[in-house]
């Protein structure tokens, strides 16, 4: 039963991405980044709900990032410029986190 829910969640995310791709053919260009950030949030939801990660530091980071994404996505409704700044901020912050995760998980295996 648990597996069935995960399968449905994966298809839900894929359906969201497919419909986003279709919608973006006619939507304003700012919707592309918005949909990508929303897909990040949805993937985080899936990972946390499915308990795919045991590392408490990453779980905490994902919970914080999910909240930040939920708030930041809304900025597009009132300011395109603020939304653009938010997208850059998320990328800079996330790339730093990716670097630290790579160092944490791959520096040990390289030894």
Q: DSSP assignment, residue 50?
A: T
Cα 58–chain centre separation: 13
Please tell me the predicted confidence (pLDDT) of residue 1.
61
| pLDDT band at residue 4 under the 50/70/90 scheme | confident
The helix-helix angle for 2-24 and 31-49 (nearest 10°) equals 180
Please tell me the predicted confidence (pLDDT) of residue 106.
84
Taking only the tens place, the pLDDT of each residue in 44-88 is 999 999 999 999 999 999 999 999 999 999 999 999 999 999 999
Nearest to 57 by CA among 69, 68, 65, 45: 65
Please tell me the predicted confidence (pLDDT) of residue 107.
79
Taking residue 83's Cβ as centre, other Cβ atoms within 10 Å add up to 20
Please tell me the predicted confidence (pLDDT) of residue 33.
95
Please tell me the predicted confidence (pLDDT) of residue 5.
84
């Amino acid at each position: 039963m648990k597996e069935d829910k995960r399968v449905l969640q994966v298809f839900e995310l894929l359906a969201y991405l497919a419909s986003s791709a279709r919608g973006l053919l006619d939507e304003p260009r700012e919707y592309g980044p918005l949909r990508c950030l929303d897909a990040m949030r949805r993937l985080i939801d899936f990972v946390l709900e499915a308990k795919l990660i045991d590392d408490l530091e990453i779980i905490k980071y994902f919970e914080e990032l999910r909240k930040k994404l939920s708030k930041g996505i809304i900025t597009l409704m009132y300011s395109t410029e603020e939304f653009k700044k938010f997208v850059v901020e998320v990328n800079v912050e996330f790339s730093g986190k990716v670097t630290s995760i790579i160092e944490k998980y791959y520096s040990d295996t390289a030894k």
